[in-house]
Structure 1
Amino acid sequence: MDDEIDYEGLSPNAGLGVNMLAGALAGISEHAVMYPVDSIKTRMQVFATSPVAVYSGVGNAFTRIASTEGMRALWKGVSSVVLGAGPAHAVHFGTLEAVKELLGGNESGNQWLATSVAGASATTAADALMNPFDVIKQRMQVHKSEFSSIFTCARTVYRNEGLAAFYVSYPTTLAISIPFNAIQYTIYEHLKRAMNPRHEYSPSTHIIAGAGAGAVAAAVTTPLDVAKTMLQTRGTSHDPDIRNVRGMMDAFRVIWAKDGLKGFGRGLTPRVMTTMPSSALCWLSYEFFKVIIRTD
């Protein structure tokens, strides 16, 4: 009797609960490890009026923040991500595997449509849960943030701007996340199959495929991410044009007026630097946890 794990059979056989738990653990691992670089990306995308908060690159930002504010500043808001990432990633991966199975994405051959629809469906559900946590995170990441607690931040944003402030960026988030996850998941699945045709458990495959898929998806969607950051941090700005931004197209107009074409590439390097290892870690963790916690 062959006791070897049929790795590629884990997705449909592991069950929804296993996929969701694995996704939650993977999401927390992914965001916590790369959080400082994500903080730098947020700061580089914000249209700051103070020259102290303008950075020429990732190294420059890291050095200046560490020397003037201390290393702890790079971790402000991480608890918001930890609280939100677990449930959001549980929903993401549970939906991902369910839709992929429903559409025949686990069958042999190139299932481009099934994997793309599965990725898009997963992010629509997960982002609805994660968006408020992301708003809190970015409000705490900006230069000289007034918030030291995620609960204080949430109360203040709600009191001053209302519930809509937590979801004003949701359409833009979906405009980023749907193509991002469709691209990422499709590339990941096909790189994984090409690199591991025998469907054996291969951590190196998940690392390389996850990193490559994440890098491409991050680079393509950076302009949308700049607009999302503007929408989520508008309440911290002293610029009336930014404070009055109401949606994605409005944000695009302001970005173009203030910085031209290069404005849409703000934070590209740290975004790719964050996404490559975090995507690799996320997929590696997800596939690992599925194996460890699956039940026969």
Structure 2
Amino acid sequence: MSHDPNTPAIVSILAGGFAGAIEGAATYPFEFAKTRVQLRQQKGVPTPRNPFKVVLGVYQTEGVAALYKGCSTLVIGSVGKDGVRFLSFDTIKNQFKDPETGTLSPMRSLAAGMLSGVVASITCVTPTERIKTALIDDARNEKRYLSMMHCIKTVLKENGFIGLYRGFAGTTLKQAGATAFRMGTYNILKDYEKEHDIAQNTATNFANGSVAGIVTTLATQPFDTIKTRCQSSRGASTVEAFRSIVADYGVKGFWKGTTMRLGRTVFSGGILFTTYEWAAAILNPLVAPKEERLRE
């Protein structure tokens, strides 16, 4: 995250939204593979742990277009999710800073991330994740949905508006935890580097984002697995999803898709924060003078 406390809100939301779109599109095949593995498989049929094998298998049997089923939904959702997430984190962290030193303790970094994750889940993440997961699940089975809009209309017709929030509990727990660890870890690393005069450049931003992605994945994978089961094409309650995972795979099933998700988050964290810092550096000089004139 940028450490300029005067970063305009419009910069946070635009840079965050742009970074989310780039990250979502660039790493989507890994997200697709992870979601496929987490959805219910035939009993006795092992699921591969290597994300590249899943991607290759889908490509060979269903074509390259199948790997991007639900991608547009994720990208649109990522624009909103990361725009809101960066904006809310920037806003909340400035409120949490020590008024005397202007610094943010590790625990306050995690708390700021947790709150911004809840805001993102309520405003945009849960509905877009629901549609993305339903599209991926439907593509391997019934093939009822003709497009993203058709999927949304069908969900609304069959389940009402509440259908878009299927898996809300799991998604919010995941987002609260994921944003706490991702934003918090990144902010902690940046503060440490600032204290030790470590240069901030593309390499350090990418490395910090990748480390934050690894920590986030390992800590929040169970929530992600429950969320995926809840948001399948037919849907399930959080309790039903929990029971089905235990019945199918036991406790270790909650970490189903970890390798797949790591394959994505190592790159996605680096791409997300590097793109955000780059976009913010371009936008800040353009927006800040206009806001200063408005305040005068």
TM value normalised by structure 2: 0.87
1:126 paired residue among 120, 123, 140:
120
Is 1:220–2:219 an aligned residue pair? yes
The change in CA–CA distance for 1:152 and 1:212 in structure 2 (over 3 A counts) is: same
- Counterpart position of 1:259: 249
- Counterpart position of 2:237: 246
Q: Which amino acid aligns with 1:268?
A: T
1:135-162 CA distance string (max 9 Å, x none): 1111112224432410001111121222
Matched position secondary structure for 2:97: coil
Unaligned runs of 5+ residues in structure 1 are 1-6, 236-242
- Counterpart position of 2:266: 276
Is 1:136–2:127 an aligned residue pair? no
Is 1:156–2:151 an aligned residue pair? no
Matched position secondary structure for 2:12: helix
Check whether the contact 1:165–1:232 (CA below 8 A) recurs between aligned residues: no
1:163-242 matched pairs, under 5 angstroms:
163-196=161-194, 197-198=196-197, 200-233=199-232, 235=234
Q: Which amino acid aligns with 2:227?
A: K
RMSD across aligned C-alpha pairs, in angstroms?
A: 2.3
Unaligned runs of 5+ residues in structure 2 are 290-296
Cα deviation, residue 109, structure 1: 5.2
The change in CA–CA distance for 1:54 and 1:157 in structure 2 (over 3 A counts) is: farther
- Counterpart position of 1:3: none
Check whether the contact 1:140–1:148 (CA below 8 A) recurs between aligned residues: no
- Counterpart position of 1:239: none
Q: Which amino acid aligns with 2:39?
A: V
1:3-58 CA distance string (max 9 Å, x none): xxxx9653x12211111111111111111110011000000000123999954532
- Counterpart position of 2:93: 100
Q: Which amino acid aligns with 2:128?
A: F
Check whether the contact 1:27–1:86 (CA below 8 A) recurs between aligned residues: yes
Identity %: 27
Matched position secondary structure for 2:250: helix
Check whether the contact 2:130–2:166 (CA below 8 A) recurs between aligned residues: no
Check whether the contact 1:43–1:53 (CA below 8 A) recurs between aligned residues: no
Matched position secondary structure for 1:14: coil
Q: Which amino acid aligns with 1:124?
A: V
The change in CA–CA distance for 1:50 and 1:79 in structure 2 (over 3 A counts) is: farther
Q: Which amino acid aligns with 1:40?
A: A
Distance in 2, Cα, partners of 1:148 & 1:54: 27
Q: Which amino acid aligns with 1:72?
A: A
Distance in 2, Cα, partners of 1:204 & 1:105: 29
1:155-213 CA distance string (max 9 Å, x none): 11121222222112111111111122112222211222333433754221111111011
Check whether the contact 2:12–2:83 (CA below 8 A) recurs between aligned residues: yes
Q: Which amino acid aligns with 2:125?
A: M
The change in CA–CA distance for 1:122 and 1:159 in structure 2 (over 3 A counts) is: same
Distance in 2, Cα, partners of 1:162 & 1:138: 17
Matched position secondary structure for 1:48: coil
Q: Which amino acid aligns with 2:249?
A: D
How many equivalent pairs are there?
A: 280
Check whether the contact 2:109–2:188 (CA below 8 A) recurs between aligned residues: no
Distance in 1, Cα, partners of 2:147 & 2:275: 29
